[in-house]
Amino acid sequence: MKDYCILTINPGSTSTKLAIFDKLKCVATETIQHSAAELADFTSIKAQFPYRLKLVEAFLKHPANLGPALAKFLADQAGIPAFIVNGPSMDEFQDLARLTGKKGVFRQSRLHALNLKETGYQFAKDHDLNYHQLNLIICHLGGGVSVSAHRNGRIIDGNDIAAGDGPMAPTRTGSLSVESVVNLAFSGKYSKKDLFDLNYKTGGFVDLFGTSDVREILAKVKLGDSKAILYWRGFIYQIAKEIGAMYSILHGKVDAILITGGIAHSQEIVTGLKDYCSSFAPIYVYPGEAEMKAMEMGAIRVLEQVEKVKHYTGRPVWSKFEF
Ligand SMILES: Nc1ncnc2c1ncn2[C@@H]1O[C@H](COP(=O)(O)OP(=O)(O)OP(=O)(O)O)[C@@H](O)[C@H]1O
Ligand SMILES: CCCC(=O)O
């Protein structure tokens, strides 16, 4: 392998994580936390571009990019290639996962695919197994929460984190009944944007407690705050329920359940999920940070021609059924 110097940029819903890998060694890394109040001022994700760009520039300390756009901007300046590795909208869903009971409405694959897949690869490596021959349930617990079913290296189903599907999360409401969404929409209290924000940015713990920082919720739990205790238990309950759904669609044949993301640092979540799910399959915990390494290794796989680069067309790999 040649000596590569790789900049990885990981804009999350509560943080921007940056790292530089020089000859496979992480030589600089920084996690910049964004409070809910700070991000509330932006009208859209795209509007955060200049703000996040400044953070990357400050990290690099010279003029040098939201994920792909940030990376391309910098790479074009440096005359080097930029790659997207397992972005959130990569799509390996099986057809059955796409269906709903409304004509023309389909479920979409939008998850924390980068960290989910890397965690799968890491688990396989740790156990001398092949990710492409395993059935795994992998959960990313961060600002958003992804619970996903991996069959032989493909994410065949999972909750759509951009659509309000699945468990509540630090920044998201999670699934609400159609009835309650329609009632909120016609209550006169919320604009369309307010409702989309609740779905993705200002819902969940932000709406309930005014913070997306789970450590603050846990501190309240320790102090015996009954609201925090109830919602914390509800958070675990909803994740466990989603794991159960993935267990059933994998026909109960699951090699392991993997828990990753920032919240996986908490022993409380691990204990809670083990209480519900340990009879399904062994549970392993990979807290937090594999995303930066995942991007570095994805870039290296392409540079080393182990994997073929795919060209982003803007067109989804799946758009509709023929009937
Ligand atoms: N030690 C800890 N115990 C409990 N929660 C923690 C701990 N450390 C971080 N967290 C929580 O993890 C969450 C952030 O996780 P993560 O960094 O994976 O998310 P993100 O990258 O900002 O967003 P996303 O995962 O949606 O892209 C926050 O709610 C944070 O409070
Ligand atoms: C990878 C997507 C990040 C999010 O929606 O939390």
Domains of the chain, with CATH numbers? 5-82 (3.30.420.40), 95-290 (3.30.420.40)
Mean pLDDT value across residues 238-243: 98
Q: Is 67 in the pocket of ligand 1 (CB under 6 A)?
A: no
Q: Is 13 in the pocket of ligand 1 (CB under 6 A)?
A: yes
- For residues 15 and 36, the model is more confident at 15
Angle formed at CA 245 by CA 243 and CA 248, multiple of 5 degrees: 110
pLDDT tens, 255-298?
999 999 999 999 999 999 999 999 999 999 999 867 888 889 88
- Residue closest via CA to ligand 2's atom 3 equals 12
Mean pLDDT value across residues 212-238: 98
Q: Count H helices, E strands: the chain?
A: 11, 8
Least-confidence region, from 58-67, 211-220, 228-237 = 58-67
The residue to mutate among 34, 138, 263, 292, having the most atoms of ligand 1 within 8 angstroms of its beta carbon, is 263
Cα-based distances in Å from 217 to 161, 178, 282, 293: 21, 28, 27, 29
pLDDT of residue 13: 82
The answer to whether 262 and 285 are in contact (CB under 8 A) is no
Measured distance CA(276)–CA(279) in Å, rounded: 8
Q: Is the pLDDT of residue 314 over 70?
A: no
Residues with CB under 6 A from ligand 2: 12-13, 88, 112, 143-144, 161
Helix (H) or strand (E) holding 266: none
The answer to whether 218 and 268 are in contact (CB under 8 A) is yes
Please state the atom number of ligand 2 nearest to the C-alpha of residue 114. 1
Q: Is the pLDDT of residue 186 over 60?
A: yes
pLDDT of residue 313: 67
Q: Is 222 in the pocket of ligand 1 (CB under 6 A)?
A: no
- Residue closest via CA to ligand 2's atom 6 equals 144
- Residue closest via CA to ligand 1's atom 27 equals 12
The residue to mutate among 161, 196, 212, having the most atoms of ligand 2 within 8 angstroms of its beta carbon, is 161
